[in-house]
Structures are given as C-alpha cells and as structure tokens.
Structure 1
Amino acid sequence: MFARTLRLAPALLKTRTLTTTSRMSAPYQVIATDKAPAAIGPYVQAVSYNGLIYSSGAIPLDPQSMEVVPGGIEAQATQVFKNISGLLAASGITAAQVLKTTCFLKDMNDFVAFNKIYAEFFGETKPARSCVEVARLPKDVLVEIEFIAVSKQ
C-alpha cells in the first residue's frame, strides 16, 4: 500500500509524494500536456522521478479529437512521435535525452517501415530499444511506444 499527496507545481507539472511501506518517500512530478492525448485509463501521461522521466505508452491518438489517426504504420508511428514530442517538450527536454524506448507493434511485418519513422525522429541520438510484436494494442492501433529519458536537472 502507498499513500499519495498532491501538491501543485509550476505549469502543467504536479508534484506528489510517494510513501510505501518500505519507508521510501520521495517527490515525483506528474507530467501532463495537451500536446499529447489524455490518458484513456487510470494512469498519467508521464512522471519525473529522481532525474528520470518515465512515459506511459503513447498510441496514435490525435490529442484534440482523441481519435486514432487514419492510415497505416507510417501515419500511426508519425502521430506517436508527435505525441512523444509533446511529452518531451512538457518535460523541458528533447529526443536527445531519451535513454530507452520500448516499442510494441501489432505486426512485425511493419518493422522496416516503423524503423524508417523511428530513425527520422531520433536521428543520430539513438536510444537503447526493445521492439516486440503483440497480439493486440489499445483501440486496435498498430504501434505503441513508451520511453525513459533523463531530465536536464
């Protein structure tokens, strides 16, 4: 069990104190932005803790309409990276600070096309990565990506 206390911080960041039975108590910030889709479940877009930023899985939803973008893997991957860019900007960092991504593809046959979009987004700053095929993703999208990044602080 753990208790959370909410304290508002600047901009769209919220600071919470996490307390567990193991006597761990440290502040973490909830990262929220309208430049990425709102959570579609009981989770937040991302959190910052101890100099690291952990994102929830980003799927290809348009942040305003909350609808899946039409098109194949290229269109959906492009939207996911737009959403990730919004989260990175809200965190005050860029793609260069991303340390690790975990990518979930509905069909591994999309791997080559996905890699092209992925490489364009990260350029020369390639993070560590895992990429797996999964049976199904939320809203039946083709791709979902989560990341861990280092904060500039």
Structure 2
Amino acid sequence: MWLFLILVLVPIIEIALFIQVGGILGLWPTLAIVILTAFAGTVLLRSQGFAVMGQLQNSMARGESPVNPMVNGALILVAGVVLLTPGFFTDAVGILLLIPPVRAAIIKWGGAKMLNSANVHVYSNQPEQRPRNQPNDTVEGDFSVIDEDKDPGNSGWTKH
C-alpha cells in the first residue's frame, strides 16, 4: 500500500511543483535548476560515497561492525537516485539524505523500529563467564610430545 501511495503521490507533487516554479521563473530557468541540482547531486554523491567507503574500510580494519557505514552508504545511494530523478521534491529529499545528521536521525529511527518489531539473538565466541562462587572444574591430564621423525603418518589432523 505504501509503495502504491509513493508511486502516485510523488509524481503529483512533482507536477504541481513544476507548474508553480515554472509559472514564477519560466520554462528555461526551471529546467536549468533541475539540471543543475542533478549535476550537484552527482558531485555530492561521489564525494560522500568515497568518504563512506573510507569509513567502511577503516571500521573493517579496526575489527568494528561495518553496519553504520553500510547503512550510510545505502542512504547515500538512495539520495543519488532521487537526485538524478527530475523534480524539486525528489531533489529536496535527496539533498536532505546527503546531510549526515539527517542520515543519523533516519538510522536511529529505523533502528528503533527494527528493534521494536524484531527478535534479536546475540551469539558470541567469548568464553562463558562463571560466577565467582562456583568451583573451577579443572581437568588434569598427562601429555607427551611426539617427535616429528617418529610421526605415525599424516591423518590430516597433525601439522608437518
């Protein structure tokens, strides 16, 4: 239902804005503004896209979660698509999506919506923490070092 409303309402809004702005400025200035905003959006999209790629690489190198740079990158991609779509309303939406605090607010709102509507399971490879009052279950054993020259064979489990 939302997609249907968007596909119907956005063109109606764009047509109404074209008529209003075209009536005030005239045909050629209106078209020039649409072309200039598409060009400016392309330049901003490229520069911010490279910045987000750098953030993604840095977060991966530090071993941090790449989710935030990925979501920022996705919103910048959406901004680029709507900026390349002719129209004043879509240009305004695209420019808003290129503003980092606006993207942060959208990510925060979307994250809250997802947490309220999803079951989250967290798994960790960290060892389980024991309460201090439980005894330590230590297993004692003997071991022997196998001399590499006397290796019984390569079972696939041993290192050569």
TM-score range, shorter chain: under 0.3
- TM-score normalised by structure 1 residue count: 0.22
- TM-score normalised by structure 2 residue count: 0.22
Higher normalized contact order (CA 8 Å, seq sep 6+, divided by chain length): 1
Structure with the higher fraction of residues in strand conformation? 1
Max radius of gyration: which structure? 2
Structure with the higher fraction of residues in helix conformation? 2
